[in-house]
Each structure stands twice: as structure tokens, then as C-alpha cells.
């Protein structure tokens, strides 16, 4: 009641002051109180200090090393990988890839003076003597130098000269000195397929295949470690790697008998 009476008295005094022309003292207006700002929840402090810097430095070092070995091995094995991938397809469909072998025959004659220098028959695979091999190469378009010879027959000396994509042989008659030779060329697809298999390719190509395989191993192993380092930001990394194992495994178990 006292508050209401005070309010009524203040209103009457205000009307009297307005009617008499007196000035009305300003009543101070208080601004509404603002809520105190809430402090954000403290975030988990990132690792810092010597340990954190050391971990970052180690990660940067291994990333650099893995990237370097990965791209170098990829560059070294790039052309070989293209070759082996393409010939993998041609080998898998070799029966459906038609090829007409080209057979070339040639003849010659060994001089009688050299015919007498032929070693006697025996169980040996020694190459032809250098002088006789040069005479054979001059008589026919094949050079049997350094090739193992078959000395077991009484009437002839036989030298097999297979190569990638071809078969070839040379025969020397011990009595007449007649030289017979034949080359069967099966085409460039067969040539590349034999390179893939390392068939009749010699020691140098065999070394190349071994070194190429090592480069491919480095490429795939460094790729695996790079996947592991980046897998945190790529959720599909390990499911895809799992598929690379699961698919051939299932094919081998279910369809190969």
C-alpha cells in the first residue's frame, strides 16, 4: 500500500509540475544487467616441448625417406612394369592370339681342312672350336660361337640356338661337312612373352629380372608404409588394402582346383 501511495503522489506531482510549467527532473534509467561471459572450456593442450618437436622431426624424416625411395623405385621399374603387365595379358590369352611361325632354312659347307679338326664324338657339351664356329657363321646367317654343342652322335654335330620368340639350330655332317640350319620365328608377341618368362634370354636379362623384382618390392613396401602414415585422413585405406588380399585369396580357394 505504501508503495502504491508513493507512486500516486509522484504521478500527481508530475502533473502539477507540467501544468505549472516547471521542469521535470530526469529520472535515471538503469540498463538491464548483462550476463557474465562464459569462459570456453579449456581445450586439450597440444603436445609441445622437446618430445613433440622430436616426434614431428622423426615423422618428417621418415616421410621424406619413404617418398624418395617410393618415387625412385617407381621411376626405375616403370617401363619394366608396363612390359610385364602387358605381356601378362598376352600370356594369359596366348591360345587366342594367332601367330604364323616363319621358318627359314639355309645350307653351307665346311672346308675339309676344318672338318678334320672336329672333336671326336663323346659325352660333351663344349662349344664348337672358334675357327670352326667362324667358318659356320661365314657360310650361314647364324653364329654358333659359344653355344653348347651336342657331340654324342657319330655322324653329326648339333648346336641348338634358341632365343626369345624363336627356335634355331645348326647341324654339321661329319662325313661331308655339309651344314644345315633352320630358324623358326614366332613373332614379336612371342618374343615379348619369352622376355616375361625369361625363356632363352641369357644371363644379362636374368639379372635384369632380379633387379626389377627388387625395385618392385621397394616400390610396394614403401607404398604400404606411406598408406599407414596417411591412413588417419583416408578412412578407406585399409578396407582397400584388405580387398587386395581378399580377392585373389578367394579366387584361389574357390575357383582353382
112: Cβ contacts below 8 Å, ≥ 6 apart: 177
- Does some domain include residue 168? yes
- Does some domain include residue 147? yes
- Does some domain include residue 41? no
Q: 79 and 205: one domain?
A: yes
Of 147, 162, 186, the residue that ends a domain is: 186
- Does some domain include residue 135? yes
Strands laid side by side in the 166-173 sheet: 102-109, 178-185, 166-173, 156-160, 149-150
Q: What is the pLDDT of residue 4?
A: 45
Q: Which three cell numbers stand for residue 50?
A: 622437446
Q: 180 and 112: one domain?
A: yes
- Torsion angles phi and psi, residue 251, rounded to 5: -60, -40
The rounded distance, in Å, linking the Cα atoms of 229 and 244 is: 19
Q: 127 and 78: one domain?
A: no
Q: What is the pLDDT of residue 18?
A: 43
Q: 116 and 165: one domain?
A: yes
pLDDT along the chain (257 residues), means of 10: 47 49 49 56 56 83 93 95 96 88 95 91 93 96 95 95 96 96 95 95 95 96 93 92 95 92
The rounded distance, in Å, linking the Cα atoms of 228 and 136 is: 61
The rounded distance, in Å, linking the Cα atoms of 221 and 226 is: 9
Full-model pTM: 0.72
Kind and range of the H or E element at 181? Answer: strand 178-185
In the numeric block, the cell 500516486 is attached to: 8
- Does some domain include residue 146? yes
Burial class (CB in 10 A: 0-12, 13-18, 19+), 85: exposed
Q: 117 and 175: one domain?
A: yes
Q: 91 and 107: one domain?
A: no
Q: 79 and 200: one domain?
A: yes
Q: 170 and 119: one domain?
A: yes
Q: 199 and 168: one domain?
A: no
Q: What is the pLDDT of residue 17?
A: 47
Q: 207 and 82: one domain?
A: yes
Of 152, 186, 220, the residue that ends a domain is: 186
Q: What is the pLDDT of residue 36?
A: 57
Residues 159 and 173 sit within 8 Å (Cβ to Cβ): no
The rounded distance, in Å, linking the Cα atoms of 193 and 159 is: 24
- Torsion angles phi and psi, residue 191, rounded to 5: -60, -50
The rounded distance, in Å, linking the Cα atoms of 159 and 166 is: 15
Q: 155 and 79: one domain?
A: no
Q: 90 and 201: one domain?
A: yes
| DSSP state string for 188-237 | HHHHHHHHHHTTT-HHHHHHHHHHHHHHHHHHHHHHHHHHHHHGGG-TTH
The rounded distance, in Å, linking the Cα atoms of 254 and 257 is: 8
Q: Name the domain count of the chain.
A: 2
208: Cβ contacts below 8 Å, ≥ 6 apart: 80
- Does some domain include residue 140? yes
- Provide the domain limits for residue 90: 60-96+195-240
- Does some domain include residue 45? no
- Does some domain include residue 217? yes
Amino acid at each position: 500500500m505504501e508503495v502504491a501511495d508513493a507512486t500516486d503522489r509522484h504521478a500527481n506531482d508530475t502533473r502539477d509540475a507540467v501544468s505549472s510549467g516547471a521542469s521535470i527532473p530526469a529520472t535515471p534509467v538503469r540498463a538491464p544487467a548483462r550476463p557474465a561471459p562464459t569462459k570456453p572450456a579449456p581445450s586439450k593442450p597440444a603436445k609441445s616441448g622437446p618430445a613433440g618437436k622430436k616426434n614431428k622431426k622423426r615423422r618428417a624424416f621418415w616421410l621424406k625417406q619413404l617418398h624418395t625411395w617410393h618415387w625412385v623405385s617407381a621411376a626405375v621399374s616403370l617401363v619394366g612394369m608396363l612390359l610385364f603387365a602387358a605381356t601378362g595379358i598376352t600370356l594369359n590369352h596366348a591360345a587366342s592370339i594367332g601367330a604364323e611361325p616363319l621358318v627359314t632354312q639355309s645350307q653351307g659347307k665346311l672346308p675339309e681342312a676344318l672338318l678334320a679338326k672336329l672333336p671326336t664324338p663323346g659325352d660333351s657339351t663344349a662349344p664348337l672350336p672358334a675357327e670352326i664356329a667362324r667358318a659356320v657363321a661365314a657360310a650361314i646367317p647364324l653364329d654358333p660361337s659359344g653355344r653348347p654343342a651336342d657331340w654324342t652322335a657319330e655322324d653329326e654335330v648339333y648346336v641348338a640356338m634358341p632365343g626369345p620368340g624363336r627356335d634355331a639350330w645348326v647341324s654339321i655332317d661329319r662325313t661331308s661337312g655339309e651344314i644345315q640350319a633352320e630358324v623358326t620365328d614366332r613373332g614379336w608377341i612371342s618374343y615379348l612373352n619369352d622376355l616375361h618368362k625369361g625363356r632363352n634370354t641369357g644371363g644379362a636379362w636374368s639379372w635384369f629380372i632380379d633387379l626389377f623384382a627388387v625395385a618392385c618390392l621397394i616400390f610396394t613396401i614403401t607404398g604400404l608404409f606411406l598408406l599407414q602414415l596417411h591412413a588417419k585422413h583416408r578412412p578407406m585405406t585399409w578396407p582397400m588394402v584388405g580387398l587386395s588380399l581378399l580377392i585373389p585369396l578367394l579366387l584361389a580357394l574357390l575357383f582353382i582346383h
